[in-house]
Amino acid sequence: MVALFCIIIALILIILFLPVKTAINIKTISNGGTQYYICQQVSTTGPNWCIVGDRIGFYDEKETKLAIIEGVNPAAILNKSVQIDSPNTYIIYGEITSEYYDKTLNETFPVITSKGFDMAYPIIRGYSFRVFVPKDYLTLLDYKWFSN
């Protein structure tokens, strides 16, 4: 019985620390090649993504834009532990392909068609194990296992 308990604990720890996707340093991304946008999740009445930079660099606070992400959307893939109350920075690979006009807000928002994403180091988590989980990669527990 004790051996089974130890095996279960060991499996949980392996799952907890098994790297799935490595965080990247924004400074090491090349300026040429693939188009990307540096985004953060925000809580607003409009879109929940904010473009804070691109290949050229970070924008001034006045230049940031709320945006909609279609295609590979981290919010649809990642668990809430790395999204809600966690000020993470995402590198969204793709292009602005259209604009969406919101009648209620009377505002137009760019739509990014995403082909993939990375997360910038450090990865911040919003649950109690955040002290023990590495900040330089995503684990299996950071991904949604079931669709909502």
> What pLDDT was estimated at residue 83?
78
CB distance 112 to 94 below 8 Å? yes
Average pLDDT of span 116-134: 82
Bridge pairing between strands 57-58 and 49-54: antiparallel
* 3-state percent helix, strand, coil for the chain, nearest multiple of 5: 25, 40, 35
For the segment 32-49, what is each residue's pLDDT rounded down to a tens digit? 778 999 999 998 888 999
Between 60 and 131, where is the model more confident?
A: 60
pLDDT at 129: 60
Q: What is the band of 144 on the pLDDT scale with cuts at 50, 70, 90?
A: confident
What are residue 91's phi and psi, to 5 degrees? -105, 110
